[in-house]
Amino acid sequence: MKKYFIITYGCQMNEADSERIAASLEKKGYKLASEIESADLIVVNMCSIRQTAVDRIWGKTKELAKLKIKKPKIKTVLTGCIVKSDKNKFTKCFDEIWQNKDYLETFPKCREKTVGFVPISNGCNNFCTYCVVPYARGSLTCRNSKKIINETKLLIKNGAKEIWLLGQNVNDYICPKNPKIKFPELLKIVGDLPGDFQIRLMSPNPKNFTDKLIEIMASSKKIARFLNLPVQSGDNEILKRMNRPYTIEQYKNLVRKIKEKIPDINLTTDVIVGFPGETKKQFQNTIKLFKEIKFNLVYVSKYSKRSGTAAFLKKDNVSLEEKKRRWQILNKLVNEKEKQ
């Protein structure tokens, strides 16, 4: 019996994809290898969100090349978030390149029985200027809500205690078969399913985070009191250049409404420092935001230019030293606030 081994990088979306690849390979008669050396097929599920993530794959190709010398028949596959410019280079290092959307409808082989990853959509149409996702995963495709519900029911029946509804942008969800079912309606249906389980959602966008969605989150005990609401910058001019369609005033107002309706919410966010052209004054606006809003956790990342994105054409004029300085200042500030 042939054996497979999957290496997964990146977010829950890639974790979910790897579980589906595993299930589809086992349907074809493959068995999970306990270690990479005993595999006949190695799948690398890559992330492209930052250059460092791509560099990691280059490192992996060297390791796989050595393995291939020992086991020439071994087959290597690359999948996941791959941007065109990297794909052309990687084709020489892997036997095949697979598209992640091809196994979206495969029922997963869960790595942990108690955790069910349920992608509700794939891809994104928002084109934030720093982000590769629309180029790596393509345009937004939403799954049929009936299939999402049936899959969730089966995962709960199989023992899932935590259901993660996943999408690059969950609140852009619209059921292709029944457009009346948008994300709030889908969340309500999942929340009304019988069983003892919690629902997590990853990732929403402040853009169309409606009052109805807040209402439904507040009214269901099943929806976990965790929310990651990426803000990305505290400066309106930078948000505009990031093509993030909200202002800081709108973001603060949204956080106020969420905290009013769900006072025990555990709120986290993502922020990028050193975006092209970000002045010290604009960075001060980000600091000001984090002094005003108490987040439970903040994922601070230094801007990493990504080929193919609109921001790639902008002059990356904030030096690495200055990016590091801003990264340290923000981390120190949010860590101190977290302790309060």
Distance CA 41, CA 237 (A): 48
94/173 with CB nearer ligand SF4: 173
126/307 with CB nearer ligand SF4: 126
- Under a CB-based contact definition with an 8 Å cutoff, are residues 232 and 128 in contact? yes
- Under a CB-based contact definition with an 8 Å cutoff, are residues 137 and 123 in contact? yes
131/239 with CB nearer ligand SF4: 131
Query: Is residue 205 within the footprint of ligand SF4 (CB under 6 A)?
Result: yes
Task: Give least dist CB 276 to ligand SF4, A.
Answer: 16
Task: Give least dist CB 14 to ligand SF4, A.
Answer: 13
- Under a CB-based contact definition with an 8 Å cutoff, are residues 91 and 140 in contact? no
Query: Is residue 47 within the footprint of ligand SF4 (CB under 6 A)?
Result: no
Task: Give least dist CB 332 to ligand SF4, A.
Answer: 25
Question: At 215, which amino acid appears?
Answer: E
Size of the site for ligand SF4 (CB under 6 A): 10
Question: At 287, which amino acid appears?
Answer: I
Ramachandran area for residue 27 (φ above 0: left; ψ -120 to 50: alpha; else beta): alpha
Query: Is residue 168 within the footprint of ligand SF4 (CB under 6 A)?
Result: yes
131/298 with CB nearer ligand SF4: 131
- Under a CB-based contact definition with an 8 Å cutoff, are residues 123 and 140 in contact? yes
What is the end-to-end Cα distance of the chain in Å, rounded?
56
- Cis peptide bond N-terminal to 48, omega within 30: no
Question: At 124, which amino acid appears?
Answer: C
Out of 45, 169, 228, 233, point to the residue binding ligand SF4 (CB under 6 A). 169
Reported as type and span, the H/E element at residue 144 is none
Task: Give least dist CB 133 to ligand SF4, A.
Answer: 4
Site string (112-141) toward ligand SF4, x via CB under 6 A: ------------x-xxx--x-xx-------
- Under a CB-based contact definition with an 8 Å cutoff, are residues 60 and 93 in contact? no
Task: Give least dist CB 268 to ligand SF4, A.
Answer: 15
Task: Give least dist CB 34 to ligand SF4, A.
Answer: 35
Task: Name the site residues for ligand SF4 (rule: CB under 6 A).
Answer: 124, 126-128, 131, 133-134, 168-169, 205
